[in-house]
Structure 1
Amino acid sequence: MHSEPPIARAGLTVLLLVPAAVLAALVSAGWAPLRAFDRAVADRLHEVAHGAPALTTVMTWLTNLFQPNVFRVAAFILVIWLARRGARRTATWVAVTMIAGGVLGGLLKLLFGRARPDFLDPVAAAVGYAFPSGHALNSALAVTIAVLLVPRWWALWLIPVLTALSRVYLGVHWTSDVIAGLLLGAAVPLLTARAFTRDRAALTGPVSGGRSRSGLP
């Protein structure tokens, strides 16, 4: 299977991490234009949510269907499947990536301590801090792993996008929360893949039925 040049993957990782870092800095600084943008989007979608109950039901189903634990269970099943096929290094990569991404998200939430949107008549509720969105981050983690293993599955990226949209629509996250979650969720697998192998073909080999000689079975 054709593999992406390491420099291209490194460039993509930078393109993901730089805007995530900028967003984090702006959130930390309480940059007024960003706060105003987040508030405006949240207020507008809140109005839509109350005026379109059918759509709100769909968004609620989406946010519940694509919650972080769903992707964690899916990753766990993938790890077992890969290990049983003898692809233990790839299985380890999947496990490390999901754990590292989840821990990173949790630590950032504690570090920034950002409050979630508040409304007098909320359509949904969530606990914990807002930045970054755990739903967006974990869905992006899992889907990026899947796309690195099977590149033709790139259309799966619709799942993190819909997940992120549902969180803002339901008023439990700011727009900047979900954007940061998507960026970080896509960047972490690229970073861990570089640590585990120099060639993406080494990761895709076990899934496509091939065997790699670069350390990944």
Structure 2
Amino acid sequence: MNSHHTHTDHIDTDYIHPELRDLVHSVSLIGWTRIIVGNWAILSAIILGLFIHLKSVANFDQAVLNCVLTIRIDALTAFMKAVTHLFSPTVSVIEALVIGLLIWAVSKSWRFGLFIPLVMAVSAVATSLVKLGIERVRPPIPERLVVELSHSFPSGHTTAASALAISAALLSLHAWGLSLINVGIADSRLSWNRRGRACLIWALAISLVALVATTRIYLAAHWTTDIIGGALMGSGTALILGGLLLSRHSVHTR
């Protein structure tokens, strides 16, 4: 009986090509890893929100703002305002819809076309709920260079930027079959080439988030911990939905 089971197990695994089996396993692992990391990111944002009223946190945020105020110049201020405007709530909705339509037109898949708009919508709702729960006051008006009426934590602009950047990065990885895990299946030279592309995609995504987050601090629209919370909320949402929707599918492009 035992030998029969052992033989059956052996036949089942032999029917799958080793590289295909490794790819299937790695994709499954990637999906679960994204979901776990995404949940951790959102939980971390919520926990951070519970500690922002501590004196040590407030002192840290104020110290960073004081440093930023010393480097303001007119040209840089104009640039920061332009960048931050690109991720205002209204503009973010338009960006999400346009990008979603473009992706659908290329991939012919509603799943992929809806991915980025869905991530941005879910992260926006989650951020709004956390704002209502935390009710943090923004930096004082004399230093603030933009008009903001909602609560401060987490940063909605940074949430939108991270949701867009991370979801776009995940979709790009699938479009070109790139992953820091499954590229190891290819030969070493191709593997390093693909790893480089994957790292470049992530570097661009992180740079966009960092740029938008910096504008929010520079304009005194948010405290530093606000933009950290926003980055965690947006990226966490993108990772969770990416793990659920993209882990076993690829965008086929020519």
Question: What TM-score, normalized by structure 1, do the two folds share?
Answer: 0.81
Map Cα deviations across residues 123-146 of structure 1 (whole Å, 9 max, x no partner). Answer: 333221111101000010011110
Q: Which of these residues, 96, 100, 124, is aligned with residue 79 of structure 1?
A: 100
Does 2:203 correspond to 1:159?
no
Deviation at 1:18, TM superposition (A): 4.2
Map Cα deviations across residues 102-135 of structure 1 (whole Å, 9 max, x no partner). Answer: 1111111112111110043543332211111010
Distance in 1, matches of 2:146 and 2:246, equals 42
Q: Which of these residues, 57, 60, 64, is aligned with residue 34 of structure 1?
A: 57
Seen in structure 2, the aligned counterparts of structure 1 residues 198 and 55 have a Cα distance that, compared at 3 Å, is closer
Task: Name the SS of the counterpart of 2:142 in structure 1.
Answer: coil
Q: Which of these residues, 17, 25, 29, is aligned with residue 42 of structure 2?
A: 17
Aligned to 1:136: 158
Aligned to 1:6: 31
Q: How many residues align?
A: 201
Structure 1 runs (4+) deviating above 6 angstroms are none
Q: Which of these residues, 231, 234, 243, is aligned with residue 194 of structure 1?
A: 243
Seen in structure 2, the aligned counterparts of structure 1 residues 197 and 120 have a Cα distance that, compared at 3 Å, is closer
Distance in 2, matches of 1:88 and 1:147, equals 18
Distance in 2, matches of 1:103 and 1:14, equals 16
State the identity as a percent.
24
Worse-superposed segment, 118-127 or 143-152: 118-127
Seen in structure 2, the aligned counterparts of structure 1 residues 10 and 119 have a Cα distance that, compared at 3 Å, is same
Worse-superposed segment, 156-165 or 130-139: 156-165
Task: Name the SS of the counterpart of 1:5 in structure 2.
Answer: helix
Aligned to 2:188: none
Task: Name the SS of the counterpart of 1:150 in structure 2.
Answer: helix
Worse-superposed segment, 63-72 or 171-180: 63-72
Letter of the 1:46 partner, please give it. L
Distance in 1, matches of 2:35 and 2:143, equals 45
Seen in structure 2, the aligned counterparts of structure 1 residues 192 and 37 have a Cα distance that, compared at 3 Å, is same
Q: Is the 8 A contact 1:42 1:171 kept in 2?
A: yes
Q: Could you list the runs of 5+ residues in structure 2 that have no partner in the other structure? A: 1-22, 174-197
Larger radius of gyration: 2
Task: Name the SS of the counterpart of 1:114 in structure 2.
Answer: coil
Deviation at 1:172, TM superposition (A): 0.9
Seen in structure 2, the aligned counterparts of structure 1 residues 68 and 140 have a Cα distance that, compared at 3 Å, is farther
Does 2:106 correspond to 1:62?
no
